[in-house]
A and B are shown apart, each in its own frame.
Chain A
Amino acid sequence: MAVINYVAELDVEPCTGCNLCDIVCPSNAITMTARKAAIDPDLCIGCGRCVDRCPEDIMWMARRETPLTITVAPDEAVEAQTVALLDKAGIDLNVSVCVCTLTPASEIARAIVKGAKDLEEVSAATGMRSGCGIYCVAPALRLLEAAGADMTPPKGYRWYPLTTSLWDISEEARRRYPDAFIDEDRKVFDPDGKYRPLHEDSAR
């Protein structure tokens, strides 16, 4: 669960339509119309990245009159599907995927089971990426890929489809880097040996 206290706002008139705010927005809250940015407050998760990025310094964060609470509760997705998705991705359900909001992997998975189709929809549904926007990305992308989502990256450079994990390292790579603790860490993080590579062509 994330409680969002702030929302991005801007002075539209001097906006040059450079699109840089849109590209760094994690939740699709910014759209460009006639070369002017527009912010959907219902989608803004308050990360502030657009404000920092704006080269014209015409954006700011305003405190919301009422905080926006966003979460995907356990009863909003079928638990068996959620657990199956996490197992397929090789991610422990309890791990905090977003270390800023402490959103657990189980909630990210629930958002996807419930219907989120891309990284932006997952962010808008859970509030992940409302903080640093960095460390949570790969587990969320991996869960999306495990769910069969379209991993074609969006136009521009919002995100790239990178999901490589400990479970995907090939035998050949392990031979090349024998001191990389791949086998040792697999035993630590998957003592029951239930996790597999995400793709068949990744030899374990």
Chain B
Amino acid sequence: MSPLAPAQLPPAFMPSDYGPELRPHVAALPGMTSISVGDLFSGFGPAITDGASVDRDAIRHAARAALANVDMSKLTADDSVNILASEHGFGLMGGWPYAEMVKTIREVVLERTPCRRINLRLAIYRGFKEADEVSEHFGFEEAFEGKVKGLGPFDPGVKVDTAIGPMYLVKRAFDATRFIHAYYDDPREMYFNRLLYKSFKSFCMSYARFETRSVYHSLFGNRSGSIIPRALFDSDFLQQRYAFSSVLRTSPMGVTGIDASNDLYGIDKRITASHLATYGRMQRLFAEIKDCVAVWDGGRWGYYLHSGGLIFGTLLTNHHDSFDLDVPVVAGFMQQPGAPVNFSRNKALRGIVVNQAWVGAGIPYVTMPFTSPMYIVGDEQARLWREDSTNPLLMDRATTVPTVEDGIAVAMEKGQTDKVIVFDGSYGHITCNAAMADFLKAHAAQVDEEVGTTLLPKWLAQRGLA
């Protein structure tokens, strides 16, 4: 076993009505440590920030440098422009890096163009109060002089004709003459998006009505679904309004920079190549784990909490290689023909302990406790889960435990594992126990070699990027 260094605390996260009262972090428990992503993969470049302490000036400087090369001539004095931001960006490293990029875009547009009607549109997932929470926490009302509105999948829609037929977007996202796609590049649900034109996904999710989101998830496979956001972006409706894109760039180390351009396809190629090399290595390292307990310990939905820059959902599904496009189905709602529900799960995941996370609130975890025992910490949190209409069956199978220490202990015992990994929003390091740290260190070199020599060339070739 390694000598145990104390674990680093994760970035602070935004309190919310959609989650339980904030609890102390698992990283502060005895027996927890942090393993540096840079120690696992020395080839990863450095980050501007991993979120633990955000140098806002550095983010602003990177944004200004990237935006300097963007043609903003479409933004005239007669125009109004919506900066479109998506909720998941505010879950990355505490949200401040993304928030600073969004604010800097506005400042640069004001400086470089005669356009003065600059609005922020906050695309949220499902809760009607999410946008107000985000706006207040990150000071957007002040930064945008009150020109801030939220939008979600249940808001009024607008019909958009595309090459694959009509689709429906949220009208409020496009109620200006122009829009700016202010994005983040977290590969996030790589088991759905497969890193196939991921930079476009907002056009069929964040900015889209629920019908469009449903078509993407439920009436296409997770490879063929990539046609929908591209068809939307390429539509006359959007191209007539599109100004440029600005994307917060990340790796498992943290924020690596900002990429801004009028050419979103070009941005996407750069992101895809970079992600396959970095997140691809982390994904395959997680796939080496043959037994473990995972702990949710963050301020957003459990699927989307990070550890070493990868969301929990990756661990849940990486018994398949999400980046290998020869694998037709990784996850998804269309599922395998003949399968009543996609029970396919990573059997290495022997238990999930929920210390803190947003309760379902629109994210179904219904099938998870069928295959991975779930332990909910505290009666109050259990009550919230029991009342969650999105997961009506979950508490029939999940177990309530009094403390997170109890939850971890019973999950390890019943799961016959000595390894614990914590999803607490961390980039640049993984919060875990000593057994997991030793395991990851022992396997990283082999993964590095396999990805570099075999998998990465294949993944790139499958996407025409070799």
- A interface, CB within 8 angstroms of B: 2-3, 5-6, 23-24, 46-49, 52-53, 61, 92, 94-97, 99-102, 104, 130-139, 141-142, 157, 159-160, 162-166, 168-170, 172-173, 176-177, 179-182, 184-185, 188-191, 202
Contacts and interface: CB of A to CB of B under 8 A. Distances in A.
B385 to A, nearest CB: 12
Contacts of A179: 196, 463-464
Contact of B211 (A94, A132, A141): A141
A10 to B, nearest CB: 16
B16 interface: no
The 10 closest A-B pairs by CB, nearest first: A138-B214, A185-B221, A165-B219, A181-B223, A180-B227, A162-B211, A131-B390, A185-B224, A96-B341, A188-B328
Contacts of B159: 160
Contacts of B127: 52
A27 B425 CA distance: 37
22 contacts: A52-B127, A53-B128, A94-B340, A101-B366, A101-B392, A131-B389, A131-B390, A132-B363, A134-B214, A134-B362, A135-B213, A137-B210, A138-B211, A138-B219, A159-B211, A160-B157, A165-B220, A168-B164, A177-B227, A184-B223, A188-B221, A190-B337
Nearest to A156: B156
A132 B390 contact: yes
A93 to B, nearest CB: 9
A100 B391 contact: yes
A130 B392 CA distance: 9
B58 interface: no
> Which of A101, A164, A189 has most chain B Cβ within 10 Å?
A164
A162 B391 contact: no
Contacts of A134: 126, 153, 210, 213-214, 362
Contacts of A97: 218
A160 B364 contact: no
B230 interface: yes
Contacts of B219: 138-139, 142, 163-166
A48 B172 CA distance: 24
A97 B363 CA distance: 15
B362 A166 contact: no
A138 B216 CA distance: 9
Contacts of B390: 100, 131-132
A9 B199 CA distance: 42
B221 A189 contact: yes
A99 B221 contact: no
A49 B155 CA distance: 13
Given A176-B163, A185-B221, 14 more contacts: A47-B389, A48-B389, A95-B334, A99-B364, A100-B366, A100-B392, A131-B389, A134-B214, A162-B211, A162-B212, A162-B214, A169-B227, A188-B221, A189-B334
B166 A61 contact: no
Given A2-B392, A96-B340, A182 B227 contact: yes
Contacts of B341: 96, 99, 102
Contacts of A92: 335, 337-338
Given A134-B153, A185-B328, A139 B129 contact: no
Contacts of B221: 166, 181, 185, 188-189
A52 B129 contact: yes
Nearest to A92: B337
A139 B227 CA distance: 18
Nearest to A89: B219
B60 interface: no
Nearest to B464: A179
A164 B342 CA distance: 22
B217 interface: yes
Contacts of A46: 389
Contacts of B364: 99-100, 131-132, 135
Contact of A185 (B220, B338, B392): B220
B14 to A, nearest CB: 18
B380 interface: no
Given A135-B217, A188-B329, A173 B211 contact: no
